[in-house]
Amino acid sequence: MDKVCFDASKMQNMQSGLGQFCFHLASAIQNHPHHYTFKALVPDKLHSTVQYPFSTQSILWYQRYLTPVRAQVLHCTHQESYFKPAVGCKMVLTIHDLNFLHRKLPAWKQKLRLWKIQKKIDASHTLVFISEYVKNECARKLSFNNKPTHVIYNGVPHLGNKLQKPKGIPEEPFLFSIGVMQHRKNFAVLIDMLPYLPGFNLVIAGQHNKSCYPELLQLAKTRGISERVFFPGAISDEERHWLYAHCRAFVFPSLAEGFGLPVVEAFSLGKPVVLSKFTSLPEIGGKYAHYFDDFEPGNMAAAVNRAMLDNAPEKQEARKKYAAGFSWEKAALAYHELYQSLLKL
């Protein structure tokens, strides 16, 4: 029987967007009727200790670098995957972003990473991008060599029915944001904005780190609002659900996003959303979001107030309906069709 191998190595960090992408997409593909063997390649320590809702194959750490994958189709689920196809194996490559171009990296490091991605593209048979924005940015920086290209949007995981309030989080009203504590997320401008929104608290969830997180703490202290800014760190699905459900608005001033999953998660609960106008966010937010025209604190506060006022029940329902269009089942069907087309070649 034909075999499709799926790079799920990023599931070693399920707090990351790539870990979530691999888990939810593999689960949806497994549930879709198919006539090929589907195996998710996972690190050996996960294969032996975790039960997944899809078939897995153990991979030792050195195999990712040294052993070509023997299958009819290999799906490299991110642009920096270490897996390589064996002779005769056709490769699907999913590219999520070129966010490193938006960081303060030396030019040689940017060129090196672009070169490595170009090598993956050259070895691929078909390319997938998670947004039109990512496809267009890659087209400016890389050569597709006439390979078939597709845009397949990510799905939104069901938040479930369980809610749990994170410890130390204030009662309403509060604004909510979430993401890795990196400068590209631009969380600092939310802290600068908060003094212009008296009576509101701010919750920024995401794993703490040693650089950006201390800077944000110090900024809140400098602005005299440290008692109004809360950093719960990495949170569970139930806690994330509670924060979306109880916030007055979701605010996301990120400077670099390949897709922006939290945006659609907030829409799925009908919440007002305010975004930056950078990278993929206008594409994903569309007419259902409000936008920061700039990052001047008073103007940002005005944009948030407009969004909270634009929250009639019919607007909430429209956001929920829009979010429902981003499903892992739809993404799995699109990938399944790609696998099938390559298996027939």
Nearest to 50 by CA among 28, 29, 23: 23
At 275, the pLDDT band (50, 70, 90 cuts) reads: very high
Specify whether the CB–CB gap between 178 and 205 falls below 8 A: yes
Rounded Cα gap, residues 325 and 335, in angstroms: 16
pLDDT, residue 103, reads 82
How confident is the model over 161-211, as pLDDT tens digits? 889 999 988 877 999 999 989 899 999 999 999 999 999 999 999 988 888
At 281, the pLDDT band (50, 70, 90 cuts) reads: very high
> Mean pLDDT in the chain?
94
Provide the whole-model pTM.
0.91
- All CATH 3.40.50.2000 domain ranges of the chain, comma separated, are 3-155+327-343, 174-324
pLDDT, residue 180, reads 87
Pick 63 or 278 by higher pLDDT: 278
- What CATH number does domain 174-324 carry, 3.40.50.2000, 2.60.40.10, 3.30.70.120, 3.30.1600.10? 3.40.50.2000
Q: How many CB atoms lie within 10 A of CB 311?
A: 14
Q: Which one-letter amino acid corresponds to residue 273?
A: V
Q: How many CB atoms lie within 10 A of CB 123?
A: 14
- 260 backbone φψ class: left, alpha, beta (φ>0; ψ -120 to 50): left
Rounded Cα gap, residues 205 and 202, in angstroms: 10
DSSP state of 35: S
- Asked if the model's pLDDT at residue 227 lies above 90, the reply is yes
The contacts of residue 269 (CB under 8 Å, 6+ apart) are 159, 244, 245, 320
How confident is the model over 17-60, as pLDDT tens digits? 888 899 999 999 999 999 999 999 999 888 778 889 999 999 88
- Asked if the model's pLDDT at residue 345 lies above 80, the reply is no
Q: Which CATH architecture has domain 3-155+327-343?
A: 3-Layer(aba) Sandwich (3.40)
